[in-house]
Structure formats: structure tokens, C-alpha cells
Structure 1
Amino acid sequence: MQLARLVETVQRVRATTKKSEKIRLLAECLGQVNGREAVLAALYLTGSLPQGKIGIGWSVIQKAMHDAPASGEPLMLSDVDRLMDVLAAERGAGSMDRRILALSNLFSRANPQERTFLSQLLIGEVRQGALEAVLLDAIAAAAGLPAAEVRQAFMFAPNIGDLAQAALEEQSAGLARFSMRLFVPVAPMLANSAEDVDEALQRLDRAVFEYKLDGARVQVHKGGDDVRVFTRQLQDITGRLPEIVEWARNLPVREAVLDGEAIALRPDGRPQPFQTTMRRLGRIKDVAAMRESIPLSPFAFDALYLDGSSLLTQSYEERLRALATMTPAELIPHVVTSQPEEARRFLAQSLAAGHEGVMAKSPTAPYVAGQRGYHWLKLKEATSLDLVILAAEWGNGRREGWLSNLHLGARDPSSGHFVMLGKTFKGLTDEMLRQQTEQLLSLETHREEHTVFVKHQMVVEIAFSDIQESPRYPAGLALRFARVKRYRPDKTPDQADTIQTVSELFRAQRN
């Protein structure tokens, strides 16, 4: 397939707000590829490279960019793939100049629209509204398969490109290769926010309320004495958490996959700050010494697999019963109720114990990996949102020399963009200013006067008093008295809160 055909699809998808039309356009495009091209098309449409991040920044792109018309043979997807292999492999003395030359040769064959798309692809900024959920439906349509079957297989596929190739070439037989397996991590099920207990019960009717621990989400795989521990981003961190490995080895089952939290606790059992727990996850060296100073405790809240059988399609109550037979001591405290007063007492109990709040979960829901829905709801004492840093301004006074005033955005699933909700520098310590300045400069895309715009990669938790109408921002909403609560290195931008969540919170506070 010519790159121009894919870029045309991206432009047409951007131009429509109708989900059904997006799916139709994407399915038409996918229907024209096979083999390696199917892998490339699916990945490129979601803004990903099979080579992963290859370290090309905006400055390199600017040096390689052309203004002249395209020349030579039209670019094919395979041409782009070969060039990305070259860029990813370049190392050593003179590698930067060689990267610029190779990229310049690629741009010379591209038209202006293709150059823009390639630039966005290289720095991870393709925002065409073809989010994974939409593309999964398009893959199903192109392959003539039920969408539910494709989504189920995606839980276990290495990436959406491999899934697309299998579905398009082999249909159901190809998807059958992607299933629950030990030591292959599953994308975690995600939660939406609820304003209070009444909203949670209105949505769920009857719910499992459990403590919301402010720890690190971990997925633990056990097969005999072999244990693997994965983060919510599916990174293997087994070597960093020996106490979690020892705990899993002693579980009274042969095989299991558990979802839960690892958290640092004070001697009195109250939780340490989130950053303390995250220090353990980030430490690769001197693990034994760190374990002595910051021991982690495991808590489980879900069972996904038990002795050869997947539990994903079972109800949450059934999975909890299976979990209780394995980890009665490490089960997160919970109560099942439809009574608001009982739920509020439980929330107060969780807050008194030093935790963030509670989760409210549908007792009948299956485990829907990688998706954020209303089967799981989070209720916190203070209202907060996980937002993405879009840009930052240089500070003055005490903050002079540091990037401090953060531009904050919520995710818009319909367009793939981030919608700005305001700015804040409140809550930032000197150490946070130093750390974020270094990180944001490494993510810089361009500058406008005293503002540095960055790749949309950093997620921060923002606490605020309320939401108000504001004509200054695209959604007409702004956060009032916003302050940085903490960084969220455990979350990716596609796990940030949505503008729809912000709008619902705004409507709720007005009622």
C-alpha cells in the first residue's frame, strides 16, 4: 500500500465525528493490505511503530525536513518500515548525521501531507481519532468477524498489528492463537470515576465496595515455583520485588494470575505516600537494601486464571470467591451492598485507615481487559483527575529557571486529542520543579515565547475544588484552585481521564 492511501484515510477519519464513519473508512483501508503491510497499517493508524520509540526528536526532524515537491517513486508502507529499521539501528559516532541524512532521503519522496504524518508518527503525536477501540471495530468489519471476538483476542495479542494480520488473513482461526496464557501479561481492567456513593449505586444497583489502595498496580503470574510480576504497563519487574515473588510462591495453588496492589506500609499499617512505593518499582540496583528500608506488602483484588482455567468471563463475585481460597490474609477489605448508608460507612472506614477512598465494582461483570467502563468506579475523598501535561511555562521568582506553570489536558476519545482545562504551578516542591524541568525538556517539540510545548506523555494527578465555566478553554470548562498532587509514571496518556468525565463532574456539582 502507498503511504498516501493511509494518510488520506487518516485525514478523512479526522474530518468526521461519526464513529460508524470512522470504522467504515478504517475498514476500507485495512481491506487493502495483507502480510506485513497489515501489521504496519494497523500500527501506523494508532500512531505506533513496530520498532518502538527510536529516539527521533523535533530538532532532528526539522534538520531533515524538505520544502521541495516530492520526487522519485511514491512511498510504500514497506519503504517507511525499512527506514525506521535503519533509524532504530543507528548507534555510535556520527549516528545523528546519518539519521538526519536517512530521514531527509525519506522526506524527499514524501508530499507535504505525508511529511507531516511521518513527523507525527516519529514523535508519537499522531492524533487522528482512530483510537484502539475504534480500530478494533474496523478490524472486525474488514475481517467479517464479530467485534466482541476481536476485542477478546486483543486482550492477549502482542500488539494491534499482529492482531490485525491474524484477523484479516485467518479470521477466527488466527484469533484463536491469542488467549490467556501464564507469563503473558493481560492489559488491566480500568475504572471510571463516580462523584459519590449514590452515583455508584445508581449505576451498579448492588456493588462490591473495597478499599482503594494508593499503591502500585501489579499483575502476578505463578506457575509452580516460577513467578513473574508485571506493572499496569505490562513491564516485567519481577527482579525488583522479591517479597512479592516469595508471597506468590507460597500461594496454595499450582497456577494462578492475580491482579492487585503492592504498597509500602508504615509500622502501624497505614499506607506510605504513593511516591515511596514508586521508589521501589523504579529501583533496579541495591534491591535487597531497598527492600529493608521500604518493604512492600501484597494485596489482591482479582483472580484472572486458576490452575489451567481462565476466569475472565466469570462474574466478579465468582472471581472473588476463587481469590478468597488463595489469599484470605491479603484480600483487600470489601463489602457487598446495595445500601447507601452501609457503603458510606465503609468509605469512611477506608479513609480513616489512610486510604484514598473506595472502588465500587459490579458483582456480575466479567474482567474486561484494557478497557475503562462503568463496571468499576473509583470514589475518592478529594476530587482529582489524572491529566496530561501539554506544555509548561518558565517560572519567575522562586521558580525562575524552572518549567513550572503546567498546561493540563483531558483526553477526548472521539478525536484522540487532549482538551486543555487550565494551568497550575501549585503543589510543586523544589525537587518536583527540578525533576519535571529535566523531563519536560527531554519531551520538547517546540517553543512559543516563554512556553515549551511537549510530547503528550506525562500524566499528573490534579486535585481541585470544583469545575467552573470558562470561555478561555476549548471545552468551556476549567479547574478551580487546581494543584499538582503527584506524578503518575504508572499511567500512560491513553489512561488519563476524559473530557466526558470532566463534563459529568461539572453537571453533577450543579445538581
Structure 2
Amino acid sequence: MFQEMPTYPQLVVDPSLLEVDPEIWHPNKPIQYSFLAHALSTLTTTRSRIAIINILTNTLRVILKTHPPSLLPSLYLLSNTLSPAYESIELGLGYAVILKAIQHVSGLPSGALKRLYAKTGDPGDVAFEAKSNVRTLIPHPPLLITGVYDSMLKIARAKGQGAAKQKQSIVEKLLVAARGEEVRFLVRTLFQNLRVGAVRTSILTALARAMVMTPLTIMRDVTPSDLSYYASDTLVAAVRELSFSKSSGKKIKVEDAEDPSKILADKFVTAEALLKRVFVQHPNYDHIAKALVDTGLDGLAEHVPLTIGIPLHPTLGSPTRSLDEIYDRLENLSFAAEFKYDGQRAEIHGWKSSSDGSVLVKIFSRHLEDMTDKYPDIVQLVQDIFTSNSDLQSFIIDTEIVAIDPRNGELRTFQELSARARKDVQMTEIKIAVCVFAFDLLYLDGQILLQDPFRKRRTLLRTRLPPVIPEWKGAARLDHVRSVESEAGREAIEEFWQEAVDSRVEGLMVKLLDSGEILEEPSNKKDRSRRRPLPATYEPDKRTSAWLKLKKDYVTGLGDSLDLVPVGGWHGNGRKVQWWSPILLALYEPSSGKLVAMCKCMSGFSDVFYKAMTEKYADESENCSRQNLWNVDTGGFKPQVYFKPQEVWEIRGADVTVSPVSVAGLRLVSQSRGLSLRFPRFIKVREDKNIEQASTPEFLAQMYRSQQGKGEKGGGMDDGELLDASLESEAQESEADLSNSS
């Protein structure tokens, strides 16, 4: 039966102050999608991290207390995904299909929709305005969170002939039933651009806090006092009372040990650490949501462990600029220096089936995408390893896949590796041979090794998985990364570094062999230096100081190798008038999930690349718009067009400089100015990285501080302007274009 749109309370309040009113949210009754739309709408009104966490916490808390089956669909809809990354379930909706559905439902002609689009610049806003004047004769039942998610899955699974019409029909049914803000966020979800600041870290933080404050509804056969992670009703009431007292102006002195706010905050911290640790080792909301509802936080780690066949997030290295810096950081701790190969990072899982003993193989990229079909030669390699080693039951190894010359094993370039087909590759189609360079062992014969020191993991890797060079020259090989240990002496390390500089590798990875302690300099000069632990464990999804990255680019000038995202452009001048030049490049801000523009680039592109880029970002296509559709913070930059963020480019530059135009790194170095890159030059497309793995403002600020510390003041302030009509730059670029095209 048709119901009026509910009125929801404010979600931005402190979670301890929100009471779940049973007159609004009826227990065990499916939650309407309008509630999620209300939460998303509230999120768009703030950039405050505290406010975002409060909104998400209250949203998930209501869902947990009212209708736990709505939790999983809500997590996916809030994160703008449909499944774990490694399952690669995508909507596959074209730009035209969604617009046709909006036109059909609203009855507006295409010209009117285009005018709305020019006015608002957002497809969700267009749909909202287009639908606002539509009156339906037959009332529709309210959309449910579970129903919307199921419809999204149906869209993604529609395949074959007639799939476009089937998808459009589902979209139209959703739009017809949608009311108010539901319309706006349905369309933004369909375009996969929610335009809210709810990134994965924020969602996990909020989910942990919601669980802490929801013990009575989801726990079975236990009382809250039995559960160390949970806040009792008494504690929540005490926090609420203290908050009311402070807001009324009363001065209350509470000992730390008895402060209910601190007790609750400590529980939040403990629960957040648990949930994030579980997620980075087992990134699957389906499994996590089920375990949380069935057993709660106390049983989460046991029920959702690291699992063979499910990728874990990789450990990341911290950049350094010199061997001197490495020795200063690690002091006298033992380390191994390894070649950093120029290939594709891959996490390889191999295991014997318990049912029939067959060997199963999965290969995942660094951003968890399943690329098993791309490397049938590596699948065959792993199967051969198990065949020749009957004692081996299972393993997970961290590796770099590198193109090689099949005749002699010499390293080839990353570009050659990129030339391999990406999906459904057949063995007979393989033209680029590869070697799997293994550098870490994370799991062996049912044993999780993440907490073991690197020295032990490396020894097990070398003894249990020795190098393999098949007789057939074109077959995939297995080898260990070339390395040397610090015990060999500094001279040996320096010789090894020079060998890396002279060869086809990117540089070195320096890894702590055994856990130890290092001296940590305080951020405040008044504080004392202290020693802090530095574990040699494998830390998923962390950029650790136990792994130091020394790339040739970092040493041959400013750390002029940044991973940036193209987000806009201007029409070129002279012979480049038909292309986009310069291109606006952006960093990724993890806390907000937004891209922040930092510099223009017009150097290093070949004519072939310019043409391909202009086709990819054709004016007024789904990848290019006159409006800023993709929520990029451009600061003082005003590009003529905006690009849909979808790829990462490697960029080198002369130095980092403060800028009155860029807001990248604002307040990290200067309170009034951001940071930019002087003389940026395009190197290559980073096909092994997604947008969330682009360089961050903090990384840029670190490069700036390191540059200043070495007395490299650069070229002064960057004014953010690049002239594309300079005769000198045109001549230089023409010469570069010719060399790049040849």
C-alpha cells in the first residue's frame, strides 16, 4: 500500500544522542531506500570528517537495530559498489541508456534535459528536477534498500542480446517508484558517482562504532556485560547525560578512569582496529556483515580469517631519496635490499582442492582485481609446481610479474608487458613471456605467516618454492628477486644500488629482516625523542617504514615520479589546437575520497598519445564534460573541460613548489597556499594502479620538506599558469614528440 514519505531526524548528531524511535523505524521491517537517500543527502552537506563519521554511524546503527538484513546492501550502496573488488561485478550501464530512461519517465524532450544538464552539471540533479513535475496516477509502494540493491545486481547480470533494453526497463521501474531525494541518488549510483565523502575507511570506522553501540539487538544468548567490545545501555546513557550537562554550561570534572566518554571512545578505537584488520585481510562485506550479525565483533576475526582464494590488501613501501636516508632511518637494524622490478604486482594463490586434489589458482592485482584469465601461463606454472612438490598443499605469494626475453630471460619493459591481452587469454595467443619474481610468502600449507618476521618468511619462500625454468622457452618462470643483505656491508649495498641504476629495474626495495626499534623524532621540538617499535611483519594496506622504496627517479632529481590522475584539460594552441593540451592533473585525498588538482602538464606526450587521448576524452562524451561532474577540487584551476577520473599517469617534474592556484596539500606546508609541480612531464600510464592508489597530498608535502631539507629551493613560487604558445617549448615538445613516436 502506498505510504507518505517518512520524515527522518538529523543524523549528524553524536551517536550517543540519537535514539532509534520505534515509531519511525519498526523492528524487523525492511528499511525504505528513502532513509539511505536521506543519509546520502546529509553527507553532501559537509566535508567534516567528524560529521561524516557521525552520519554513517547513525545510519548503520539504525539499520542494525531495525533490520539487519538491510546491512549488507547498505554497505555496498554507500560504498558505490556491488560486490568485492575481486568479483568484478559492474553495472555496465551506458550513458545513453540512463538518459533514455530519465527522458522516458519524465516525458521531457532531449533538448530540455540538455538544458537542465547545462544548468545543474549533475545527472542526479537533472533527474531530480525532471521527475519533480511528474505526477503518477497509480501510487507505487516505497522502494526498499534491499530491493534497490537487488535491482542493481539484475542490471549488472543482464547479458547478451536485448541486455540494453532489459537494463533500461529496470532503471525506468526504479525511477518511476522513486520519490524526492531517492531520484537524485539512484541516478548518481547508476552513474557510479555518489559525490559524497564516504570512503572505505570512513565506512569501516562507522560500522565498528555502530556495532559497539548495538549489543542488544544482534547478540544471541549473551548479555552485553560478557562482551568486551560493546557499550552497555548504561554506558551510553551516561555519555548522553554528560553531553547534555556540558551543553547546558555545567562544569563537570570526571576522572579519566570513570569518564564514560573516554570509555566509549576506547571501545570505538578497539573495535575500529579489529574491523579494519579483518577487512584488509578478507575484503568481503558479504562475509563480514554475516559474521557481525551472527556472532558480533567478538567472533569476527575467527569467522572471517585470511582465506586462500580471497585476496588481501598488499603492504606498501615508503619512498626514500638516498641510501644515506635509509641508513639513518633503520640505524643498525638488519635489512635486505631487493631489485624493484618494473612489472605488475601480483598476489598469487595456489592450493589443492580438498575434494578431488586438483590444483586451484587465483592471481590478483595490487588493487584486488582477479586477473587469473590474463595469465594462463602462470596458472600452468603454479600447477606444475604442485605436481613436482607433493608435500605442498597451499600458498599465497607476493610477486612482481615482469616481461622477459624467452631466449635468455633478460628483462623487458613494462610497456611490453602491457601489450598482453587482459581477458580470456589462451595459451596459444601468448606472445610476451613472463617471469614471476616472488618476494614474500604470506601463507603456507594452512599457516598464516603475516606476523612472522620477514627473515623467516623469505627463508620459507626460498626453500619451499625454489626457482622454476621450464624447458619450453615461452613458458612462465618462477624466480626470487635479486637481493643483498646489509650484513654484506655498505659497499656491497652501494654496488648493488649502482647495478640497479644500470639495469632495467626501477630501483631498490629495502626491507627490515627482523623486528626492532628506531628513534622517532618528535613533531614538536619541546618533546623528547623516543624509540618506537618497527615490526618486520607483513602489514596489509599499510605504507610501512619497514619497507623503504628507493627508485632511480627519486635520486636523479626531486622525487619527480608522482602517480597523478588526469581530471581536465584546455584546447591547445598552434599545431595542438585539435588536442587537449595542457592536461590538469590531480592527487588523491584519502580522508575525503576526492581528487585535488595540483598542476598542468603539456610535456612528454607523443602525437599518437595526443590523438588517442582526444578520442578517449571526446568533448561532451561520457568521459568529458563542460561541468565538474566528478567532484574534483580544482582550486584556482579553471579547465575548459573536465575528464572522468579513470586512469593514473606517472609524472616526473623538476621540483615541488608552493602555489597560489593549487589547493593540493593546503595547510600541510602553508596555511594559505597549496603545492604544485614545476615542469611536469608525462612518463607513462600506470595500468597497474587505480585512482585510490594515486599519490596523496601528504606524499607531495613530504617530498617538499625533503627537498627543502636538502637546500633545494626549486624555482620559486609556481603561479599555476602554463603558456602553450611558447616557441621554445613548442620546439622542445616537437622534438620530444618525434622521438616518442618513433
**Displacement after TM superposition at 1:161 (Å):** 5.0
Change (3 A) 1:160 1:385: farther
The code of the aligned residue for 1:189 comes to T
Change (3 A) 1:82 1:498: same
Q: Distance in 1 between matches of 2:419 and 2:433?
A: 11
Q: Distance in 2 between matches of 1:2 and 1:204?
A: 55
Alignment correspondent of 1:219: 347
Among 363, 366, 369, the residue aligned to 2:537: 366
The code of the aligned residue for 2:452 comes to Q
TM-score calculated relative to the size of structure 1: 0.87
Q: Distance in 2 between matches of 1:242 and 1:106?
A: 41
Q: Which moved more, 1:397-406 or 1:25-34?
A: 397-406
Change (3 A) 1:104 1:418: same
The code of the aligned residue for 2:504 comes to G
Larger Rg: 2
RMSD of aligned C-alpha atoms? 3.3
**Displacement after TM superposition at 1:406 (Å):** 2.5
Q: Distance in 2 between matches of 1:222 and 1:337?
A: 32
**Displacement after TM superposition at 1:417 (Å):** 0.4
* Structure 1 residues 240-255: aligned runs within 5 Å: 240-248=374-382, 249-250=384-385, 252=389, 253-255=392-394
**Displacement after TM superposition at 1:31 (Å):** 1.4
The code of the aligned residue for 1:177 comes to H
What secondary structure, in the 3-state scheme, does the structure 1 residue paired with 2:568 have?
strand
Q: Distance in 1 between matches of 2:438 and 2:313?
A: 16
Among 254, 263, 273, the residue aligned to 2:413: 273
**Displacement after TM superposition at 1:296 (Å):** 0.8
Among 60, 80, 84, the residue aligned to 2:152: 84
Among 417, 422, 437, the residue aligned to 1:282: 422
The code of the aligned residue for 1:416 comes to G
Alignment correspondent of 2:90: 53
Alignment correspondent of 1:407: 584
Identical positions, percent: 28
**Displacement after TM superposition at 1:372 (Å):** 3.8
Q: Distance in 1 between matches of 2:422 and 2:438?
A: 21
Unaligned runs of 5+ in 1: none
Q: Distance in 2 between matches of 1:41 and 1:432?
A: 41
Q: Distance in 1 between matches of 2:61 and 2:303?
A: 21
Preserved contact between residue 7 and residue 117 of structure 1 (Cα < 8 Å): yes
Preserved contact between residue 291 and residue 304 of structure 2 (Cα < 8 Å): no
The code of the aligned residue for 1:80 comes to V
**Displacement after TM superposition at 1:502 (Å):** 0.9
The code of the aligned residue for 1:134 comes to S
TM-score calculated relative to the size of structure 2: 0.62
Alignment correspondent of 1:386: 563
Among 63, 70, 74, the residue aligned to 1:41: 74
Preserved contact between residue 584 and residue 639 of structure 2 (Cα < 8 Å): no
**Displacement after TM superposition at 1:102 (Å):** 4.8
Alignment correspondent of 2:199: 131
The code of the aligned residue for 2:690 comes to T
Unaligned runs of 5+ in 2: 1-30, 103-126, 213-228, 230-270, 353-357, 468-478, 514-534, 554-559, 628-637, 665-673, 710-742
1:316 aligns with 2:442: no
Q: Distance in 2 between matches of 1:123 and 1:98?
A: 17
What secondary structure, in the 3-state scheme, does the structure 1 residue paired with 2:349 have?
strand
Q: Distance in 1 between matches of 2:377 and 2:166?
A: 46
Preserved contact between residue 17 and residue 414 of structure 1 (Cα < 8 Å): no
Preserved contact between residue 227 and residue 238 of structure 1 (Cα < 8 Å): no
Higher fraction of strand: 1
Q: Residue deviations 1:68-95, cap 9 Å, x none?
A: 5387665432342244245435567776
Q: Which moved more, 1:294-303 or 1:144-153?
A: 144-153
Alignment correspondent of 1:474: 663
Change (3 A) 1:117 1:203: farther
**Displacement after TM superposition at 1:299 (Å):** 0.8
* Structure 1 residues 8-407: aligned runs within 5 Å: 8-10=38-40, 12-13=42-43, 19=49, 21-33=51-63, 34-50=67-83, 52-63=89-100, 64=102, 65-67=127-129, 68-69=131-132, 75-88=143-156, 99=167, 102-104=170-172, 106-107=174-175, 110=178, 113-144=181-212, 145=229, 146-157=271-282, 159-160=284-285, 162-171=287-296, 172-173=298-299, 175-205=301-331, 206=333, 207-224=335-352, 226-232=359-365, 233-248=367-382, 249-250=384-385, 252=389, 253-266=392-405, 270-280=410-420, 282=422, 284-285=424-425, 287-291=427-431, 294-329=432-467, 330-337=479-486, 343-363=493-513, 364-382=535-553, 383-395=560-572, 397-403=574-580, 405-407=582-584
What secondary structure, in the 3-state scheme, does the structure 1 residue paired with 2:185 have?
helix
Q: Distance in 1 between matches of 2:158 and 2:429?
A: 37
The code of the aligned residue for 1:378 comes to K
Q: Distance in 1 between matches of 2:444 and 2:492?
A: 32
Q: Residue deviations 1:280-336, cap 9 Å, x none?
A: 353644543534xx2111210000111221112222222112112134542212234
Q: Distance in 1 between matches of 2:380 and 2:160?
A: 41
Report which structure shows greater RCO (CA 8 Å, sep ≥6).
1
Q: Which moved more, 1:235-244 or 1:30-39?
A: 235-244
What secondary structure, in the 3-state scheme, does the structure 2 residue paired with 1:485 have?
strand
**Displacement after TM superposition at 1:444 (Å):** 1.3
What secondary structure, in the 3-state scheme, does the structure 2 residue paired with 1:176 have?
helix
Change (3 A) 1:29 1:208: farther
**Displacement after TM superposition at 1:390 (Å):** 1.4
What secondary structure, in the 3-state scheme, does the structure 2 residue paired with 1:280 have?
coil
Q: Which moved more, 1:86-95 or 1:220-229?
A: 86-95
Change (3 A) 1:496 1:173: same
**Displacement after TM superposition at 1:259 (Å):** 1.0
Preserved contact between residue 77 and residue 149 of structure 2 (Cα < 8 Å): no
